[in-house]
Structure 1
Amino acid sequence: MKISLKKRFLQVMVIALFIFLICPFCKPKGEEISTKEEVANSIQDIFQNRNKAILNGDLKLIEGNYDRSTKYGKWAYEHEEQKMKYLKNWEERQGVKFTEIMPEVMIKRIRGKDDKYSVNLICSTKYSYIYEDDPVKVNSCKIGTSHVLNISKKGDNWIISKEWYKDPFADSLNLGNLKVDAINQYIKSQQARDFSNMNNRRKGAVEYADRYCGIASEKEYGYSYNRKYRNYNSQGGDCANFASQILHEGGKFRKNSGWNYDGSGATRSWLNADGFKSYMIYSGRASLVAHGSYEKVYKASYKLLPGDFVAYEKKGDITHISVVTGADSKGYSLVSCHNTDRNRVPWDLGWSDKNIKFWLVHVNY
């Protein structure tokens, strides 16, 4: 049966009207892609501005990047302000100056429409610093973070209305009554250390840590963990799991019934920070170098070698493990870890609050 031209015309009009009513604000696909690219570029600029603000000590550089009229936008801004103060305090105590902070932002997902988007991203940030009395030697370390943020357009600019990420500097520096000048002078009096003669097991531990420190690793490694092992970050943290991997895979320590990981899971001594510290010391595989506040142990930290580890204690509980992977131009020990991901970062950076105690542990390779 033939359909008349009039009926065909009416059908086309009905379909067109239906599309118009269902999706009156639909953007062409090309326009949507263009908007997401604009959002991604704006986020890159925001992260650059945040690091410039830290280097210059100028909060005005980031005031326009946050919607401070909202509760969460204000909190996000104030958190960056707190981080800036922390890093300036650490510089002062350490006798250093940050010379460059370079973020590499990788957008994982952008969702939203119109002028409001939710973004998941990772950021691998390289921090470069010099000692004030030796400005020629540049030291660098990397910290990796995962972010979830809401961004919206205000006028011609994209601004953050909410942001979450596990901040590596969350345990902010509280200098309290520390003898800052004395600490500063002692650190600056030290010399670079030579690790060229360390044994192959220690070298293997460092190589493994460099390769699998996640978002803080080199780009060529894909910012990923070793997929042979489960990632426990979402279940309280992956730091002890990573430290155990470093000692087993890199340092060639054998598993046993007390310290083990297999397809069915892991023992407490493998997976739990306090369990790991206690097992290593009481099994004889490691020995304690020093324990106490920063002021009590910082001189002893120069005894640590690559492949040793630091345990961090808050309110009587070991909450974190980092493995020593090197030393900077003044011989100051550097560590690597998961949760958050760090690659050759000064061992107390982000952990130097006066209420935190440290366990400096020598591993018997």
Structure 2
Amino acid sequence: MVIFVRFKIIKAILFTIIFLVIFLLGIYIWNQLQSTSTTFIDDNTKELLTKEVQEIFHARNKAILDEKPDVLDGLYDKTVRNGIWAYEHEIKKMKYLHNWSEKQSVDFTEIDSQVVIRSIKNKGEGYILNILASTVYEYIYLDQPETKNTFRIGTYHSLDLMPKDDSLVITKEWYTDPFADSLHLDEIKSQEIKNIILSGKSKDLSSLNERRIKAVEYADKFCGAASLPEFEFQYNPKYRNYNSQGGDCTNFASQVMHAGGFKKNSTWNYSNGAGSKAWVNAQAFKNYMLYSGRASLIVSGSYDKVLNSSYKLLPGDIIAYEKKGKIAHISIVTGIDSKGYTLVNSHNSDRYKVPWDLGWNDKGIKFWLIHAHF
């Protein structure tokens, strides 16, 4: 009898907890619906918003290029916490890009974004926008001012805009920043590094075998928001996008290797809408490629230790980025710039022919340069 009574008490308590959870969840959902509603946005409004956002990105890129924090300041509502954070993040990015350009002995000459609004929601008098931004960076080496180099970075933004003084300002922004792991670049500056980079020379890549060419063609076509506009900024729809599950960089690298002729097997495989661990996990992919004999290690270590060897990389080769003892990212070599500096493609953040260390200059990063046996 005592046991039965206790069971009834426990049952009553559980029902009470469930009721409270449902009640509180209902209040939360109601508040969300009140503060953010999805309404029909006509084509004219969407066109005007696209133009407004394009102008915001243009002004921000120009401010970053010219190192003008005061111009950046005017694009944000700094009376709200999220507006302050968004502004401060762009200031850090501005400093990083100019620190990197000094290390690299280059000048950025242009930064220009093409924005695509993917969804719009009303938020009070303002908007929440989901945006794809494909940004072209142009740079020249200081001793080659006549030769322009370009790369593209693709980012996906959740952007809150509110009206202020007859314009829209940013009150909140979130996106996966490709430069987030580069807060200590000043610690690797040296004249020796500059000398190595400036002494580099472009080289003839016309003798690449067909498998490497096919791998690079695939990597160029399906690098998402960073790809050329004619490819419509898409991932390959035949594969699952793992960005919401920790990142898609290794899944993309595996696709590139497969496009270059590497056959799937029981360990390294993608089937029925899912990839094996060696297919989608960065650490497992690196280990598989090396231990299977499909690739060999050129060198691993800090940036200054591997810089010279990076010039041995060929399109189709692999760079793995180690952070805190584990491989955190995989990219695929897809070309070289006018100084023979290695360029890479990847997912999250999406990159198209980007200098291989850009965004990975924290002193704790270890690089694995891997030669693929095509």
TM-score (norm 1): 0.89
Q: Deviations over 1:207-253 (max 9, x none)?
A: 0001110111111111111111111110001111000000102x111
Matched, 1:174 2:184: yes
Residue 346 of structure 2 is matched in structure 1 by 337
Matched, 1:76 2:83: no
Q: How far apart, CA to CA, are the structure 2 residues paired with 1:62 and 1:129?
A: 22
299, 309, 313: which one aligns with 1:300: 309
TM-fit CA distance, 1:178: 2.6
Q: Deviations over 1:11-65 (max 9, x none)?
A: xxxxxxxxxxxxxxxxxx9997655443332211110011101111111122111
Q: How do 1:276-291 and structure 2 match up within 5 A? A: 276-291=285-300
Q: How far apart, CA to CA, are the structure 1 residues paired with 2:43 and 2:186?
A: 51
Instruction: State the one-letter code of the partner of 1:263.
Output: N
Residue 10 of structure 1 is matched in structure 2 by none
TM-score (norm 2): 0.87
Q: Which has the larger radius of gyration?
A: 1
SS at 1:171's partner residue?
coil
Q: How do 1:84-233 and structure 2 match up within 5 A? A: 84-112=94-122, 115-233=125-243
In 1, are the aligned partners of 2:96 and 2:185 still within 8 Å (CA)? no
Q: How do 1:229-308 and structure 2 match up within 5 A? A: 229-249=239-259, 251-263=260-272, 265-308=274-317
308, 311, 332: which one aligns with 1:323: 332
Change (3 A) 1:31 1:200: closer
Change (3 A) 1:287 1:41: same
RMSD: 1.6
Q: How far apart, CA to CA, are the structure 1 residues paired with 2:353 and 2:48?
A: 34
In 1, are the aligned partners of 2:50 and 2:116 still within 8 Å (CA)? no
Q: How far apart, CA to CA, are the structure 2 residues paired with 1:354 and 1:130?
A: 26
Q: How far apart, CA to CA, are the structure 2 residues paired with 1:113 and 1:279?
A: 48
Change (3 A) 1:285 1:31: closer
SS at 2:96's partner residue?
helix
The percentage of counterpart residues that share the same residue type is: 55
Instruction: State the one-letter code of the partner of 1:262.
Output: S
Q: How far apart, CA to CA, are the structure 1 residues paired with 2:314 and 2:207?
A: 11
Residue 311 of structure 1 is matched in structure 2 by 320
Count residues with an aligned counterpart: 336
In 1, are the aligned partners of 2:130 and 2:158 still within 8 Å (CA)? yes
Instruction: State the one-letter code of the partner of 1:296.
Output: K
Q: How far apart, CA to CA, are the structure 1 residues paired with 2:49 and 2:363?
A: 40
TM-fit CA distance, 1:345: 0.3
Residue 40 of structure 1 is matched in structure 2 by 50
Q: Deviations over 1:111-154 (max 9, x none)?
A: 11662111111000011100000011100011100000110001
